[in-house]
Amino acid sequence: MQHLADVEVYSVRTLREALELLSSVKGLRVIAGGTDLIVQLKTGVVPKTNLLDVSRVDELRYVRFEDGILRIGALTTFMEIYRSELVRRHAPLLAEAAFTVGSFQIMNKGTIGGNIVNASPAADSLPPLYVLNAELKIVGPRGERFVRIQDFYKGYKKLDLMADELVAEVRIRPPGEGYVGHFFKHGLRRGDAIAVVNGAVLLMLSPEGIVRDARVALGAVAPTVVRSPSSERVLVGSRLSPEVMWRAAEAVVNDISPIDDVRGSAAYRRELSVNYVFMTLYRIARETGVVA
């Protein structure tokens, strides 16, 4: 266990101050809620380093809907996301996922920016963000830039983010009329559990129950969260019958590469993925009246 008594913490109140310090002080690491980073520092998973505490940069904590885009500041906590009327209206899958992040204590401290940058393949916000085609606003000394969530991850914990940059905002264009979706998660217990497998399914259905658009994402089954094009191909253009739902669920195994670890074997994860995608498709089919 590493002792952190000699770690220096720089506290800032504005984004400008944060960016200035990140550019001028070498080796600073951003800390937001600290729910990932403190554990990683104490256990030595992350080498001991001085910290830039951004938790009081209030200009990065908000949920807004402007110009047809849902904008979530990086410091917004999962409790704030879960409670937000705007998130529930425009990105209900994300509200569903937010409610499963740890305990209420973790939901109160853990931020969406921290969840994204920590880059765990099991992070609960990510499957919803993948199917919602979310975009990240990244700010740094060279200005701001925008990156699609799936392009942000280059491999296991490899990010399109420089040491002097911050994730500032998550942007979601609501998918619009006719889209229905859900988040799913399997943990080893009912609460406060990291996912063995998680995921999200978002479908656009015609009034006759034909799938016009399908987006399926899975977490904890590959080095990064993945979409399942094989499953999506089975769904698009088909009626959401039980047979199609099974074929689509079984197709996810083509797009995942799970490993054995403390939470479950690769074989168990494959089986969970198929079953949860089927159950989520079935849930959508029932809610929309496609199956009785």
> Could you say which of 25, 39, 188, 259 contacts ligand FAD (CB under 6 A)?
39
What CA–CA distance (Å, rounded) separates 106 from 128? 19
- 99 vs 246, beta carbon nearer ligand FAD: 99
Contacts of 35 (CB under 8 A, 6+ apart): 102, 106, 109, 110, 114
Helix (H, G, I), strand (E, B) or coil at 70: strand
Window contacting ligand FAD (CB under 6 A); options: 30-38, 147-155, 250-258, 282-290: 30-38
117 lies in the binding site for ligand FAD (CB under 6 A):
yes
Query: To the nearest whole angstrom, how small is the minimum distance from the Cβ of residue 70 to ligand FAD?
Result: 18
Window contacting ligand FAD (CB under 6 A); options: 5-13, 110-118, 261-269, 281-289: 110-118
Query: To the nearest whole angstrom, how small is the minimum distance from the Cβ of residue 195 to ligand FAD?
Result: 7
- Residue 289 to residues 206, 208, 212, 240, 266: CA-CA distances in angstroms? 12, 10, 16, 10, 34
Position of minimal CB gap to ligand FAD: 114
174 lies in the binding site for ligand FAD (CB under 6 A):
no
186 lies in the binding site for ligand FAD (CB under 6 A):
no
Short-list 113, 96, 114, 288, CA closest to 198: 96
Window contacting ligand FAD (CB under 6 A); options: 5-13, 31-39, 128-136, 228-236: 31-39
- 28 vs 235, beta carbon nearer ligand FAD: 28
Helix, strand, coil fractions of the chain, as percent rounded to 5: 35, 25, 40
> Could you say which of 81, 87, 167, 225 contacts ligand FAD (CB under 6 A)?
167
35 lies in the binding site for ligand FAD (CB under 6 A):
yes
Query: Which one-letter DSSP state was computed for residue 196?
Result: S
111 lies in the binding site for ligand FAD (CB under 6 A):
yes
Lookup: tokens for 169:
């905002």
Short-list 101, 59, 58, 96, CA closest to 78: 101
Which one-letter amino acid corresponds to residue 121?
P
Residue ranges in 128-147 that form contacts with ligand FAD under rule CB under 6 A: none
> Could you say which of 106, 236, 244, 279 contacts ligand FAD (CB under 6 A)?
106
Which one-letter amino acid corresponds to residue 63?
V
73 lies in the binding site for ligand FAD (CB under 6 A):
no
What CA–CA distance (Å, rounded) separates 60 from 75? 5
Which residue's structure tokens are 């969530």?
A: 149
109 lies in the binding site for ligand FAD (CB under 6 A):
yes
Short-list 177, 91, 88, 85, CA closest to 127: 91
Interface contacts to ligand FAD, rule CB under 6 A: 29-37, 39, 74, 100-102, 106, 109-111, 113-115, 117-118, 123-124, 166-167, 192, 194
